[in-house]
């Protein structure tokens, strides 16, 4: 049934359905039930301001005029916020998360993003707390960004002047230390704090984000998604998760936590608080001793910290609309009377370089040619499986791994990748089985210990999870990070980050 509403002032019956659809599509906001009245009031307010009598005419204006659409969006945006709101999350950020990132940071500042920052109280609160903790050095150590779809709210944030409602519950000493009297009885954030925070007008449902939003270490996305329907919540959460640097953290409001536990990020509990963490992605590196492919421990560390690192995210690239690839071992061999042999070693080296440069399709094509010529070349199958796994082509990766085990039932890499595929697909029992098989083949397979511990952590099996994390630390503590990090060719990982994560998880378990 078409949703309609009648204005008491103007008497016109309005079909709300196209307005609801427009707002949902462009900014993600849903206006059902009690929020419907807010939509009606805002429509009539803008129509009266523009002297438009027909809702159809106003809808046509919205469809062709982005500025007017923005004006309506700003009326519908709820900007209820104040300084140091939900202080438990802010204390978690400053007391635990920031020191953790500082322990592994390089020269760049730690990036903090406030997504849906409204009029700026949240990012300024963070800047003040960091200044209290780290002094003037905080200007060099941290880069804080606030974004919101409401340009009026962002304009207020940039000025940084606030009335008394923004200071409810705020410590008076902080008010005196970091604010100065302003016009009309307001107080303005001091210049030193304002200079540490940048603001941008951003639609979180948009197709692109500004440069300063990219690769944050910590994202605060609190009390924003409650205005979005489930599908939009998942889409925006996925976009923010993709922005995060490896090992980065995402904090949501207390009432929003459960809605975002959809398998994109790992849910972590710290005492009574929850937040999400992005585990490091797969990193492809040549394990051989050839100098042109060797990475130093310092280079391994930089992989997790810089955008130039040859990392592969879990989002498919150009494979979304193409039909599933037929498994290699089922493909008919090309009928050629004059096959041209290829240099298998040289071609495999080329595939490695292409994988490092994110040219997935070209690398896979070369691996197919290698496998077609020499079906016993196990490393080609392993590299193909890991490429497919990193591109989230899990069914294809599973098929390749099963083909490997059909020829070599003792291939450690195949069991490890099958465990990862099962974990991604939510097949927890099978994942644990595969990781145990990998550990049986090699008790020092720290990745299998780690992912088993992660599953047990989620299942609240604290004792066994802690034992798994401690096993990882013990194994990695016995050898050079570079050697351990590259042990399971062609899956190479930054072992140093896993050490940080394991220590963090053990501390959480000990505090339970």
Longest Cα–Cα distance in the chain: 89
Most confident of 56-60, 129-133, 402-406, 444-448: 129-133
Query: Which pLDDT band holds residue 318 (cuts at 50, 70, 90)?
Result: very low
| Mean pLDDT of the 277-292 span | 49
- CA-CA distance, 419 to 387, in Å (whole number)? 15
| Mean pLDDT of the 294-317 span | 32
Domains of the chain listed by start with CATH number: 4-76 (1.10.155), 87-277 (3.40.50.150), 282-328+341-510 (1.25.40.10)
Structure confidence at residue 158 (pLDDT)? 96
- CA-CA distance, 69 to 162, in Å (whole number)? 27
Query: Which pLDDT band holds residue 156 (cuts at 50, 70, 90)?
Result: very high
Percent of all residues in the chain with a pLDDT value above 90, rounded to a whole number: 22
Structure confidence at residue 74 (pLDDT)? 65
Nearest Cα to 490, choosing from 386, 420, 401? 386
Look at 66-75, 241-250, 487-496 and tell me which has the smallest mean pLDDT: 487-496
Query: Which pLDDT band holds residue 33 (cuts at 50, 70, 90)?
Result: low
Q: Is the pLDDT of residue 10 over 70?
A: no
pTM above 0.85, yes or no: no
Name beta bridge partners: 252. 221
Give the torsion sign (CA, 262, 266, 268, 274): negative
| Mean pLDDT of the 415-438 span | 88
- Pairing assessment for the beta strands 110-115 and 218-221 based on DSSP bridges: parallel
| Mean pLDDT of the 145-151 span | 91
| Mean pLDDT of the 253-270 span | 71
Structure confidence at residue 323 (pLDDT)? 43
DSSP state of 326: P
Structure confidence at residue 504 (pLDDT)? 84
Q: Is the pLDDT of residue 403 over 50?
A: yes
Q: Is the pLDDT of residue 269 over 80?
A: no
| Mean pLDDT of the 201-228 span | 86
Structure confidence at residue 97 (pLDDT)? 93
Structure confidence at residue 259 (pLDDT)? 58
- CA-CA distance, 256 to 234, in Å (whole number)? 12
Q: Do the beta carbons of residue 161 and residue 187 sit within 8 Å?
A: yes
Percent of all residues in the chain with a pLDDT value above 70, rounded to a whole number: 75
Structure confidence at residue 29 (pLDDT)? 64
Q: Do the beta carbons of residue 389 and residue 419 sit within 8 Å?
A: no
Q: Is the pLDDT of residue 478 over 70?
A: yes
Q: Is the pLDDT of residue 430 over 60?
A: yes
Structure confidence at residue 244 (pLDDT)? 93
Structure confidence at residue 305 (pLDDT)? 34
Q: Is the pLDDT of residue 275 over 60?
A: yes
């Amino acid at each position: 049934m078409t949703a309609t509403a009648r204005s008491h002032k103007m008497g016109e019956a309005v079909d709300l359905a196209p307005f609801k659809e427009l707002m949902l599509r462009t900014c993600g906001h849903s206006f059902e039930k009690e929020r419907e009245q807010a939509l009606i009031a805002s429509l009539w307010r803008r129509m009266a301001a523009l002297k438009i009598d027909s809702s159809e005419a106003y809808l046509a204006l919205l469809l062709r005029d982005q500025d007017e659409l923005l004006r309506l969006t700003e009326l519908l945006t709820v900007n209820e916020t104040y300084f140091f709101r939900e202080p438990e999350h802010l204390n978690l950020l400053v007391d635990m998360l920031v020191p953790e990132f500082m322990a592994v940071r390089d020269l760049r500042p730690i990036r903090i993003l406030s997504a849906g920052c409204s009029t700026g109280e949240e990012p300024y609160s963070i800047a003040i707390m960091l200044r209290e903790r780290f002094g003037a050095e905080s200007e060099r150590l941290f880069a804080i960004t606030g974004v919101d779809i409401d340009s009026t709210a962002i304009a207020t944030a940039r000025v940084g002047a606030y009335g008394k409602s923004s200071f409810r519950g705020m410590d008076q000493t902080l008010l005196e230390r970091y604010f100065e009297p302003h016009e009309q009885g307001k107080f303005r954030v001091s210049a030193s704090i304002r200079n540490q925070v940048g603001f941008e007008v951003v639609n979180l449902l948009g197709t692109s984000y500004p440069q300063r939003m990219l690769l944050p270490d910590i994202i605060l996305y609190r009390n924003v998604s409650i205005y979005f329907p489930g599908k939009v919540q998942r889409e925006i959460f996925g976009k923010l998760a993709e922005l995060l640097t490896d090992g980065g953290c995402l904090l949501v409001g207390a009432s929003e936590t459960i809605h975002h536990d959809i398998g994109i990020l790992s849910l972590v509990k710290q005492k009574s608080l929850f937040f999400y963490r992005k585990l490091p992605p797969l990193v492809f590196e040549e394990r051989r001793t050839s100098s042109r492919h060797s990475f130093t421990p310092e280079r391994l560390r930089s992989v997790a910290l810089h955008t130039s690192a040859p990392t592969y995210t879990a989002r498919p690239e150009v494979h979304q609309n193409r039909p599933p690839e037929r498994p290699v071992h089922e493909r008919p061999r090309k009928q050629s009377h004059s096959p041209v042999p290829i240099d298998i070693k040289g071609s495999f080296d080329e595939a490695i370089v292409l994988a490092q440069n994110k040219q997935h399709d070209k690398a896979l094509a070369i691996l197919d040619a290698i496998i077609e010529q020499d079906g016993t070349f196990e490393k080609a199958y392993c590299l193909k499986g890991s490429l497919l796994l990193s591109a989230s082509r899990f069914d294809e990766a599973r098929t390749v791994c099963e083909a490997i085990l059909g020829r070599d039932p003792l291939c450690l890499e195949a069991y490890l990748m099958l465990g990862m595929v099962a974990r991604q697909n939510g097949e927890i029992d099978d994942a644990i089985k595969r990781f145990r098989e990998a550990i049986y083949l090699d008790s020092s397979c720290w990745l299998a210990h780690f992912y088993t511990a992660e599953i047990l952590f989620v299942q609240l099996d604290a004792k066994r999870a802690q034992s798994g994390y401690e096993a990882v630390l013990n194994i990695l503590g016995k050898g050079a990070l570079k050697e351990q990090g590259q042990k399971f060719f062609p899956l190479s990982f930054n072992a140093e980050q896993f050490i940080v994560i394991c220590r963090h998880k053990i501390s959480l378990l000990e505090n339970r």
